[in-house]
A = this chain, B = another copy of it.
Amino acid sequence: MEIVKGLKNGNVKALSRAITLVENELAGYQSILLSLENHRKPVIGITGPPGAGKSTLTDALIGEIVAAGKKVAVICVDPSSPFNKGALLGDRIRMSRWYDNENVFIRSLASRGSMGGLNSKIIEITDVIKESIFDIIIVETVGVGQSEIEIAGLADVTVVVLVPEAGDEIQTMKAGLMEIADVFAVNKSDRPGADLFVRNLRLMLAPAFSKTNDEIKIISTVGQTGAGINDLYDAIQHSVQIKKQTDKKAWLLADKVYQLIQNKMMKGFDRELIKTEIEKELMNNNLNIYKFALAYGK
């Protein structure tokens, strides 16, 4: 298949096209998925509450990675809610300076709903990117709803971005966001109270720290100026090496496999058609849907 060849040879247009095919299940997407050799490449998840500066930080990280002579692919998962459109577009402008750089690939994906859920094809899409020439994959997403649980399974290293102003909130912060972090980036750390915030965060993490041998790193950054980005990248690389997240990953993959099997088994069963038939039966007044389903399943 032409597109698979292109993908493996580093053709960026082929990568782009392959993602589109896979995301929308267009003709040929199956062949692409079946051809994947599952190269091991680090996936870095970047998440955190809205307004923490995730995009600016991602932009700075891209610079760091490119400067290190590596190629990076970035997936931005944006809530599909119309309310967020304006703000997100603003955040994305800065990142657009990379669009012409051959060492950077950026793709926006819609989230599975305004309340989170990464994207129903996120696993497939990261797998496709792994097949291409890019060395590192960044998945950036707002940490709301389901997405942070999913990102912990998907990413080899999860960076949770916070701002010093989160100080009061952090006590009540969703346990989910706290538990998935391999690295905390305290962004906008040139603001007042940043040091205190970092100290408190470290105290909060202390019990977790004593339980495991994996140190959770806390890095102070300023996305806008690039301060601390070097340290952040070091922490990420360190975390990639020590990280073995096999249980979360196995669950994520098992769910995906289960879903793939389900899709396959249910091919040919059409909700619309079932509804039409049920409407007909409803007029008969004596429909037993359990018998109906049993007959259908044959």
Contacts and interface: CB of A to CB of B under 8 A. Distances in A.
Contact of A282 (B246, B262, B269): B246
A277 to B, nearest CB: 8
Nearest to A31: B290
Q: Which of A33, A38, A127, A265 has the most CB of B within 10 A?
A: A38
Interface in A258-274: 258, 260-262, 264-266, 269, 271, 274
A109 B36 CA distance: 47
B254 A293 contact: no
Q: Which of A123, A255, A256, A274 has the most CB of B within 10 A?
A: A274
A257 B288 contact: no
Given A38-B288, A285-B40, A278 B261 contact: no
Interface residues of A, number: 45
A279 B246 contact: yes
Given A251-B275, A254-B274, A264 B37 contact: no
Contacts of A291: 34
B249 A282 contact: yes
A76 to B, nearest CB: 24
Interface string A123-167: 110010000000000000000000000000000000000000000
Nearest to A275: B254
- The dominant DSSP class at the A interface is helix
Contacts of A293: 256-257, 260-261, 264
A257 B296 CA distance: 9
A101 interface: no
Q: Which of A37, A257, A265, A286 has the most CB of B within 10 A?
A: A257
Contacts of A37: 286, 288
Contact of A278 (B33, B254, B274): B254
B40 A265 contact: no
Nearest to A298: B264
A99 interface: no
A79 B44 CA distance: 37
Contacts of A208: none
A295 to B, nearest CB: 10
Contacts of A254: 271, 274-275, 278
8 contacts: A38-B287, A253-B275, A253-B289, A258-B269, A260-B293, A261-B293, A264-B294, A265-B266
7 smallest beta-carbon distances between A and B, as pairs? A260-B293, A254-B275, A33-B290, A265-B265, A264-B297, A254-B274, A257-B293
